[in-house]
Amino acid sequence: MQNKGEYSFSTCWNIKRHTDGRAMLEEIRGLGFRRVELNYNVTHEMLTTIEPMIERGEIGVSSVHNTFPHTPDPDYGTDSVLLGFEDEDKRRRAVELLVESARYAHRFGGEAVVVHPGEVPFPVNIGKELEILYNGEGRDSDAYRRKWAELTERREQLAGGYVRTIIRSLDEACGRAESLGLNIRFGIETRSRPNQIPTLAEARTIIRELEGAPVGIWYDTGHAIMMDRLGLYDSVAEMDGLTDHIVGAHIHETIGLSDHWCPYVHSGDMEFYDAYLPMIGRAGVKVYELKAACLPEEIENSHSLLTAKLRERRGKEAGENESAQTNGKSEGAGKGGLHDGTR
C-alpha cells in the first residue's frame, strides 16, 4: 500500500471490529495511512493503547471527532441538539465536552475538532421518512413534497434560535480553548439529516458571527451530496464564500442516499465526484471517512484516482496562472511602450 502522506483516515472504518486501540490503528497503518482521525466511538479504554503509539511517533492524529472520547449519554451524542440546548445546564455540559475534545486534539498533536453543532428537533425521524419517500416515490412526488413542506415549515420557525445558541456555545468554547492555550480549530460539519444544523447558509452565518475565532466549516462531501439530493441546498454552488473557511473535509461518496463509499470506485462514475475536488483541495485536513464494507484494495484504488485527479487539477491551475501572468506582463510592456512614446 502506498504511503498516503498528508491524508488521514477515520477510525469509523474499523472501530466495530476492535476493542484494542493499538490493533485498530495498526490495521489502518497497513493501508498506508500515517495519520488518523479518532472518531467519537473511541473509548477511554482504547486510549490506553493508542496514546503510547502517538507518543512514540508510530501514528499521527489529524483530528478528533466531538464528543471525544466516547460519551454514552445520548443527549451528547452525534444526533442531538448538543450546542443548541435551551436547557442551560445541558448547554454548558455540551460546551465542556467540546473543550475536552479540543484538549485531547491538542494533546495528541491534532489540528482540529470535528463538530456536530446541533439540530432542529422533531418528534419523529423526519430524515428517515424523507429517505423512504425519496427512494420509493421520488423527490417530485406529492407525498415527498408534503413531507418536505413539513420539514421546512418547522425548520424555518426554529432554526434561527438554535443557530444563535450554537454561536454562543462555540464562542464560549473558543474562549475556553484560548485560555487553555489550545491551538485547535473547530470545524462545524455538514450533516446527514435535513433537520440538522448547519445548512451551508447557516454555516456562513455562524462563521461570520464568530469572525476571528478558530471556527470554520468541516465539509463532509458525502453528507453534502445527500442534502443536495434531498433538496436542502446546492452542495457546490452554495459553497461560494465558504471555500476560504474549510477547516477539513471528510472524503467519501454517496450512492443514492447511501454514504461513506469509496469515491469513484463504488459508484463507477469517473466524473461526478470531481465537483467536490476543489473543496478537498482547499481543506486544511483531509480525512477519508469510509464504512466497514470498503475493502483495502478499493480504498487504495480510490485514493489513487482521487490524488491523480487533484494533481491534474493543480497542474491546470498552475498553467492557467502562469499564462495569465505572462499575458499581464506582455500587456504591461505594451502599455509602457506606448506611454513612453507619447511623452
The phi and psi torsions of 23 (rounded to 5 degrees) equal -60, -40
Residue 334 has pLDDT above 50, yes or no: no
- Does residue 69 have a cis peptide bond before it, meaning omega lies within 30 degrees of 0? yes
Asked if residue 316 is part of any domain, the answer here is no
C-alpha to C-alpha distance for 166 and 179, rounded to whole angstroms: 20
- Count of domains observed in the chain: 1
Please state whether beta strands 215-220 and 196-197 pair in parallel, antiparallel, or not at all (unpaired). unpaired
**Residue-wise pLDDT tens digits, 251-260:** 999 999 999 9
182: amino acid identity, one letter: L
C-alpha to C-alpha distance for 42 and 11, rounded to whole angstroms: 8
Residue with cell 502522506: 5
Residue 151 is predicted with a pLDDT of 98
Asked if residue 1 is part of any domain, the answer here is no
**Residue-wise pLDDT tens digits, 79-117:** 999 999 999 999 999 999 999 999 999 999 999 999 999
C-alpha to C-alpha distance for 256 and 269, rounded to whole angstroms: 13
pLDDT, mean of residues 311-327: 77
Residue 327 has pLDDT above 90, yes or no: no
- H or E element: which one contains 212? none
Asked if residue 159 is part of any domain, the answer here is yes
Asked if residue 259 is part of any domain, the answer here is yes
Task: Kindly report the CATH number assigned to the domain that includes residue 108.
Answer: 3.20.20.150
**DSSP notation for 23-38:** HHHHHHHTTT-SEEEE
- CA distance from start to end of the chain: 67
C-alpha to C-alpha distance for 148 and 135, rounded to whole angstroms: 14
Is the CB of residue 34 less than 8 Å from the CB of residue 4? yes
| The three three-digit cell numbers of residue 265, written as one number | 470506485
Is the CB of residue 198 less than 8 Å from the CB of residue 188? yes
**Residue-wise pLDDT tens digits, 109-148:** 999 999 999 999 999 999 999 999 999 999 999 999 999 9
Number of residues assigned to the chain: 343
Asked if residue 189 is part of any domain, the answer here is yes
Residue 319 has pLDDT above 80, yes or no: no
Residue 338 has pLDDT above 90, yes or no: no
* Mean pLDDT, rounded, of the chain: 94
The mean-pLDDT minimum among 5-9, 57-61, 119-123, 324-328 falls in 324-328
Residue with cell 489502518: 28
pLDDT band at 342 (very low <50, low <70, confident <90, very high): very low
pLDDT, mean of residues 47-52: 98
C-alpha to C-alpha distance for 337 and 340, rounded to whole angstroms: 5
pLDDT band at 324 (very low <50, low <70, confident <90, very high): low
Instruction: State the pTM of this model.
Output: 0.92
pLDDT band at 316 (very low <50, low <70, confident <90, very high): confident
- Does residue 198 have a cis peptide bond before it, meaning omega lies within 30 degrees of 0? yes
pLDDT band at 336 (very low <50, low <70, confident <90, very high): very low
Asked if residue 27 is part of any domain, the answer here is yes
Is the CB of residue 110 less than 8 Å from the CB of residue 64? yes
Residue 320 is predicted with a pLDDT of 73
Beta strands of the chain (E only): which ranges?
A: 8-10, 35-38, 60-65, 112-115, 118-119, 185-189, 196-197, 215-220, 246-251, 253-255, 258-261, 285-288
- Does residue 307 have a cis peptide bond before it, meaning omega lies within 30 degrees of 0? no
Domain that holds residue 83: 8-297
Tell me the HSE value of 335 on the side-chain side, using a 13 A CA sphere: 6
171: amino acid identity, one letter: D
Residue 341 has pLDDT above 60, yes or no: no
pLDDT, mean of residues 42-52: 98
C-alpha to C-alpha distance for 205 and 210, rounded to whole angstroms: 9
Residue 249 has pLDDT above 50, yes or no: yes
Asked if residue 261 is part of any domain, the answer here is yes
Residue 247 is predicted with a pLDDT of 98
Which sign, positive or negative, has the C-alpha torsion 224, 225, 226, 232?
positive
Asked if residue 311 is part of any domain, the answer here is no
C-alpha to C-alpha distance for 123 and 111, rounded to whole angstroms: 36
The phi and psi torsions of 186 (rounded to 5 degrees) equal -110, 125
